[in-house]
Each structure stands twice: as C-alpha cells, then as structure tokens.
Structure 1
Amino acid sequence: MIQNVYCVGRNYRLHAAELGNDVPDEPMIFLKPSHAVARLAGQTLELPQNKGEVHYEGELVLRVRRSYEPGIKVDDLIGQMALGIDFTLRDVQTGIKKKGHPWTAAKGFKNAAPISEFIDFPGAEAAEGEDFTVRRNGKEVQRGNIKDMIFPLQEIVDYIGANYGLGEGDVIFTGTPAGVGPCAAGDTFELYWGERLLGSCVIG
C-alpha cells in the first residue's frame, strides 16, 4: 500500500533550463496526495481538460521497504522501483508560482501520479546502466538516466528521511529529464525501462 508520495522538482539541469527555472542548491521536495496515484496498466486516465495545458513528466519512482535511519544506504532502503508520470497543470502552476502559493492545485489532482508495475530495485550503481524512456503516440519524447540527476538517489533519500521521514510504503518520484510537454485527450503513453515496457495509458 502506498503511503506518502514525495516528489523531487528540478532534478535534471536540462529540464530546469527548458522551463526557465534556476537549478536548486538542495533537493526541492513537494508532495502529492496518495489519491493522485493510479496504475499505468493500459487503461484510460481521466485528466482535467478545462484548466489549461496538462504536461507529462516521466520519472523513475522508488518504493521504500523499511524505515529510514541515518547512515542507511539507498540500496538497503529501497526495495522496488517503477516508472511514473508527474502530470502537471502547467498554466495553473504558472499562476500559483507568481502568487507564491503551494503547488497542490497543479500537481495533486486525481490521476496526477500514475505509476507502472514495480520491479526489483537493482541498486543505484546498476540502475545507472539503463535509460528510461517515455513514448507519446509511439514517438520517444523523453529519455533519462539517474546518473544525470543533480541530486543522486542517496542524497535524495537522506534529505527526505532526515527532514520529513521515510517509511515502508512511501514512494519517491525522483525528477524528470528534459522533453516535457503538453498532452491531449486520446494521447497514448508508454514507459520503458531499457527495452522493457513497464506501463502505459491513454489520456481521457
């Protein structure tokens, strides 16, 4: 059962640049409600279509298997991983950022955090050996690798664990690479780990 849903913002330099954002000095953490989680199992995902552009952001997702303790290694803390999409109401986010308001309205709506099937986490070093990709309507639109993250996995779990806590069932969206963009009703998304399809959906 998924508990807390932590998300890391601006964790790839090229993604920060494409949105005109500064690169943070420490991990930028925000939360999504657990009710935002959905499965990426080929089904139709209903997303808000009346609030401006909805952007996709493909990400590696980690699932925590035990409580965080200072000094624990990420390979011991994380039991499984998946791929997910951080759906964002971009026009809404732009407006609330100008007002200095929280991001919940732009990031926390229902179905805003769909996640593929989970597979065993091979360890941080081994995970660097595979890219993850997002295909929209059959065309690759994003490609990422954790070795390109600004804040590596160990730093992410240490920061979240020390500041907010991490326990069994928590998941972490680790940030999106460049290539995000708008989606529309009828679009299909497929998420691959290497050559392995982990999840897909159709936008409703």
Structure 2
Amino acid sequence: MTMIQNVYCVGRNYKLHAAELGNDVPDEPMIFMKPSHAATALNGQVLSMPQDKGEVHYEGELVLRVKRAYEPGVSVDELIGGMALGIDFTLRDVQTVIKKKGHPWTAAKGFKNSAPISGFQDFPGAEAAAAEDFAVHKNGSEVQRGSIKDMIFSLQEIVDYIGTNYGLGENDIIFTGTPAGVGPCAAGDKFELYWGDRLLGSCVIG
C-alpha cells in the first residue's frame, strides 16, 4: 500500500444512515480524522478488533486518494487519482459515551485496523463513479448498498471543504461516508466489498 498521509473521514453523509443512528443531518460536512496507523490493506486477512470495549460496528465507504495539492477551483476529477472501498470500524458503545461527554471521537474511531482499505483503482471521474453502486457483504449476505448519488455532500463539496479548511496533499485519503445498514460484527465474520459486481477487498474479523 502506498504511504498514506492524512486520513480524513466524513460523518453522516447519507440521510438514511444519520436517521438510523438518530442523528441530525448536518448543515456542512462533518469531518473527523483517523491516525494513519489505523489504515491497513483489505486483502483477505484476519483483522484484530478490540473485543473488550463493547460493540464494534462496520461502516462501508467509498475511499478517495488525493494525487496533488489542493488549490481553490480545482475539480475533484483533477484532484483525485484513485478510489477504493474501505470499512470505517467504530467502537459504537465507546462512541455513545464520548459523544455524551463532548469528547473527541479518536477512542471510538482511531484504533489500530479501524480503517482497512482495498487496493486503489483508477478514479473514473465523479460522474462515471455515480453510475455504479458499492456494497458490503457480511458472511455472504448484502448488508449495505450505497451510491455517491445519495450523498448529502457531493465529492466536489467534500474536497473543497477539506481542502479549504484543513488542506489536502498527495496521498491524503478521504473516507466519504457510509450508507444505511451499519451494524455489529463479531470474531469470525467475513466482510466482502463490491464495486458493482467486482470484489475489491475482503477481511475476516479476529
């Protein structure tokens, strides 16, 4: 895997996902970060998850890789060099507690192996990417299906917001948000991530 720099994540970027967790739909992109050490390859391996901190939830997402420094006015098609699928693993019980306390989300979102990513594919452009769905299968059954057409904030809005407020550079990656269907996982569960009918990556929970 190419050396990853910053790992940006967009929260609540699908209305149905916000609703399933009882969250309000945000007025602007809701950005959080994971340590680069949270990222790992999604290549069929066993991923160790914290098993002593409550429920671990899966959140399948489209992931973008930046190929050049952000400048105002640059299009997402010019900025993004690759796309992949990934899982934003979340310690949901931990997140519930720290949200109530107003604490940062790092403890719930930033643990090791919490950001597995498939191999990157050439980015076909936002319009072409919108023509294809992505899906997450758990133990052989589809549990999530999403399309960038259903995002609250478009890919262009996401890169403009992050680039303007935080900066974007080569090999930064962006988890663009998860559709509805998130849920818990347990040791032995197998996850497979599909772009259309193409399997891009898989893992087993350890």
TM-score class, shorter-chain normalisation, is over 0.9
Residues in 2 aligned to 1:76 and 1:47: alpha-carbon distance in whole angstroms? 36
Q: 1:81 aligns with which of 71, 80, 83?
A: 83
Say which SS state the counterpart of residue 43 (structure 2) adopts.
coil
Summarize deviations over 1:96-115 as a string: whole Å, max 9, x none. Answer: 00000000000000000000
Provide the rounded CA distance (Å) in 2 between the counterparts of 1:127 and 1:37: 23
State the alpha-carbon separation in 1 of the partners of residues 149 and 79 from structure 2. Answer: 19
Deviation at 1:164, TM superposition (A): 0.1
Letter in 2 for 1:117: G
Deviations 1:14-63 (A, max 9, x none): 00000000000000000000000011000000000000000000000000
- Structure 2 distance, partners of 1:52, 1:121, is 36
Residue 122 in 1 paired to residue 131 in 2?
no
The 3-state SS of whatever aligns with 1:63 is: strand
Q: Does 1:66 align with 2:71?
A: no
Deviations 1:113-140 (CA, angstroms, capped at 9, x unpaired):
0000100000000001100000000000
Counterpart of 1:71, as a letter, is G
The one-letter code of the counterpart of 2:107 is A
AA paired with 2:102?
G
| Match of residue 201 from structure 1 | 203
Aligned to 2:111, what secondary structure does the other structure show? coil
Distance 1:118 1:197 in 2: 12
Q: Which residue of 1 aligns with 2:58?
A: 56
Structure 1 residue runs of 5 or longer lacking an equivalent are none
Deviation at 1:142, TM superposition (A): 0.1
Structure 2 distance, partners of 1:87, 1:70, is: 32
TM-score (norm 1): 1.00
CA distance in 2: counterparts of 1:40 and 1:202, whole angstroms: 10
Alignment equivalent of 1:39, drawn from 14, 18, 41: 41
Q: Quick one: percent identity of the two aligned structures?
A: 84
Amino acid at match of 1:38: T
Describe the SS at the equivalent of 1:55.
Answer: strand
Instruction: Give aligned pairs, total.
Output: 204
Structure 2: gaps (5+ residues): none
Residue in structure 2 matched with residue 132 of structure 1 by the alignment = 134
Residues 1-204 of structure 1 aligned to structure 2 (within 5 Å): 1-204=3-206
User: Could you report, residue by residue, the CA deviation over 1:124-177 in whole angstroms, capped at 9, with x for unpaired residues?
Assistant: 000011000000000000000001000000000000000000000000000000
Question: 2-side partners of 1:164 and 1:13: how far apart?
Answer: 25
> How far, CA to CA, are the matches of 2:149 and 2:57 in structure 1?
24
RMSD (Å) for aligned C-alpha atoms: 0.2
Over 4 Å off, 4+ runs? none
Rounded Cα–Cα distance in structure 1 between residues aligned with 2:45 and 2:87: 14
